[in-house]
Chain A
């Protein structure tokens, strides 16, 4: 799914206030000036479409896998082939888990996950790097206070935005959400 650059920059910038959209990785067009440690872009990993802003540690360790995922998909690789290539990247040491605690923001209401062949709007949230942790380690329960997504080297603890915060974010970004959903063909 191709989205025009100005919209992409807006979408990426909608994730976290005070964060300049920037995309320094080779495979993603750079945009904006870097004035803080965060790197924002619109991920299409695994067929999802969502803006995300990684801190320095995430940009070093997780973003490269996301970027390679995009390149492989643009070249026509299947979902399984991409998953195998990423897994091999961990075996080869091309990718590594975050070496220190860190954070990534996915606070945009324009966040879409692939479910049953279609994109569905998902909740804004904040993620904490949690390599190899499980829900048992953190007392996680999906949809509740905190839970682990994708346990493994790039596992994350998800903290959903609160009810009031979600409403405020949606109100603030309604025009952007409408525009993105128009492009994505989401009703």
Chain B
């Protein structure tokens, strides 16, 4: 009898083992239902690019292809450092900058801290594992949805700022005549610096209005509660 109970317990433990071997995704790196993730990723692109864009989605070990594309763009829901937003990269951005996000996801999902990931990314640019875009290009971030999730799982929502980003490695606001909050500005200075061009207020409102259902479903999944 004792042997039978022991055997049953061992079988149960073996059956449960894969669940224990697979750590839960960090709270700042939420897994989403695939359909929701795809809808969110595509919301970054202008409507005429959505049908033909390649798609990546996050599974428990990292990003995987959900479909190949028929145009130059690759859409993904980025989560680096708990900054959750959809973005669609052109071919140059897909080659040069998307790998940073993909590697960061794999590291974070295997338990690496965000600080260590930032260090490895900086090292990757310094050593040539990552590179700045080598030609003019752009990425679309035309969604109004962007959230910050800290390592304790606390979710905050960014003000809607749908925009287009042009690759601007090493450019500064002085170079481009940019100023924060104006029609054009740099998000940062560095190999992955971007010239940000926000859409206008009327265009932004159209995007916000069109995202009502997606916003509700996403906020339920990530646990965002409006104040």
**Complex contact B168–A101 (CB within 8 A):** yes
- Chain A residues with Cβ below 8 Å from B201 are 162, 164
Contact A139/B200 with A56-B175, A103-B176 known, Cβ cut-off 8 Å? no
Question: Among residues 90 to 128 in chain A, which have CB atoms less than 8 Å away from a CB atom of chain B?
Answer: 100-103, 105, 107, 126, 128
**Complex contact A138–B203 (CB within 8 A):** no
Q: Hey, what's the 0/1 contact readout for A19-37 against B, CB within 8 Å counting as 1?
A: 1000000000000000011
A2-10, A78-86, A141-149, A173-181: which one contacts chain B? A141-149
**Complex contact A139–B90 (CB within 8 A):** yes
* Nearest CB of chain A from residue B140's CB, rounded to whole Å: 7
**Complex contact B73–A139 (CB within 8 A):** yes
**Complex contact A55–B176 (CB within 8 A):** yes
- Chain B residues with Cβ below 8 Å from A164 are 200-202
Question: Among residues 86 to 101 in chain B, which have CB atoms less than 8 Å away from a CB atom of chain A?
Answer: 90-91
29 pairs from A and B in contact (CB 8 Å cutoff): A18-B177, A37-B174, A53-B177, A55-B175, A55-B177, A102-B175, A103-B176, A107-B183, A126-B197, A130-B136, A133-B135, A133-B136, A136-B71, A136-B72, A137-B90, A137-B91, A139-B46, A139-B48, A139-B71, A139-B140, A141-B48, A144-B48, A145-B46, A145-B142, A145-B199, A146-B138, A159-B197, A161-B200, A163-B203
